[in-house]
Amino acid sequence: MSARQPLPNWVTIVLMPALNVLLAFIIGGLAVAIIGENPLTAMWALFYGAFGTGMGWGFTLHYATNFIFTGLAVAIVFKAGMFNIGGEGQAYVAGLGAIMVALWLDQTHWVFVLFGSTIAAMMMGSLWAIIPAWLQAKRGSHIVITTIMFNFIASAFMSYMLAQVITAPGANAETRTIAEQGRLPLLSDWFDAFQYSPLNITFFFGIAALIFTYVLIWRTKLGYKIRTLGANPEAARYAGISAVYVIIISMAIAGAMAGLMAVNEAVGVQKRLVVGYVHGFGFVGIAVAFMGRSHPVGIALAALLFGALYQGGQELAFELPAVPSDLVVVIQALVILFTGAMGEMFRPLLERIFARRVNPAPEAPTTAETEA
């Protein structure tokens, strides 16, 4: 029996998730058929809502930007062999730093608001992530447990701050709105195709974050240490790599990534801080990271898919009222199921296919060769 041949990277990062997503949509289509609607009509409404208009594209890319940040917050730590389940809380607390600096600078210019709130959000997200990282590195507390707990602590802390400390006079648990001259520009200000969509300049920060993560993980000494620790902690220890340093610094970077979501959502879209503004984006980022195989290219594609599901689901509910809005949640769950828990389902088949391409079967001998 020949040894198993490794699959090309593009197959692992792109083709396998695409097949899993296709299977999820097929099963979702069957669910639509069961309730008496045309699956093709439903899928077309979902696709058209996400990509059929400039406004749809704008909403899809806006949601995708959030998922890029929270997906990278999971992926960076996963490369170090840990699970960062705390992106939700890190983004939530980061919103406090982002909005306070934005409100402080909103009488100047949006450039100062953008960079000031970005730095503040990244610092707050990092600080919130460093605490469970220190507990993991120094005390042995499991990172999954501590980050989940810190999500609840962040929710309670932010609810108190918004209700009792920083709420605007006369408002119900929200800050005042950023002044007009301090608001981040929407891409619709420059491109008419994105009219009426919340897509703003932080979209380019999302692209920069993807490039930064690729360079960090695969082109730097720190990235090598992160990957070594994640692949083999014992080998990393024998190589002189400090696990404490790598755990804390990787979690700090992940928290900063999650914090960037606060700039996009709280400063760029809401223009104020409200209770629960994170909308579960941190938890969806876990699925995005796993579906994208913790690679920036895969995360970008997965974020685009989930952004399309979020936006297309709204169009589906409008065009086909008989289809419950929860069906989109079912499709999302199927995508997570097939790309996460059953993500390796197509691997044996693809390995056999690509093994035949690399090592084709030998040709049968001719009659003359047999007689000889």
**Number of Cβ atoms within 10 Å of the Cβ of 57:** 20
363 CB-contact burial (10 Å; exposed 0-12 / middle 13-18 / buried 19+): exposed
Question: pLDDT digit of tens for each residue in the chain (372 aa)?
Answer: 455 677 887 888 788 888 888 898 899 889 889 888 889 998 899 999 999 999 999 999 999 999 999 999 999 999 999 999 999 999 999 999 999 999 999 999 999 999 999 999 999 999 999 999 999 999 999 999 999 999 999 999 999 999 999 999 888 889 999 999 999 999 999 999 999 999 999 999 999 999 999 999 999 999 999 999 999 999 999 999 999 999 999 999 999 999 999 999 999 999 999 999 998 999 999 989 988 889 999 899 999 999 999 999 888 888 888 888 778 788 878 887 887 777 788 888 888 888 877 666 566 566 555 555
What distance in Å separates the CA atoms of residue 96 and residue 328, rounded to the nearest whole number?
31
pLDDT at 372: 53
Q: Which DSSP category does 173 fall into?
A: S
pLDDT at 268: 95
369 CB-contact burial (10 Å; exposed 0-12 / middle 13-18 / buried 19+): exposed
168 CB-contact burial (10 Å; exposed 0-12 / middle 13-18 / buried 19+): middle
pLDDT at 354: 82
Tens digits of per-residue pLDDT, 116-159? 999 999 999 999 999 999 999 999 999 999 999 999 999 999 99
pLDDT at 91: 97
Alpha helix positions (H), the chain = 9-10, 16-34, 39-51, 54-79, 87-105, 110-134, 143-160, 202-219, 221-231, 233-238, 243-262, 281-291, 296-319, 326-336, 347-358, 367-371
Give the DSSP per-residue string, 84-139. ---HHHHHHHHHHHHHHHHHHHTTS-HHHHHHHHHHHHHHHHHHHHHHHHHIIIII
What distance in Å separates the CA atoms of residue 358 and residue 338, rounded to the nearest whole number?
27
pLDDT at 1: 45
CB 332 within 8 A of CB 100: no
CB 271 within 8 A of CB 104: no
Tens digits of per-residue pLDDT, 170-222? 888 899 999 999 999 999 999 999 999 999 999 999 999 999 999 999 999 99
pLDDT at 84: 95
pTM: 0.90
Residue matched to tokens 């941190």: 282
Q: Which DSSP category does 199 fall into?
A: -
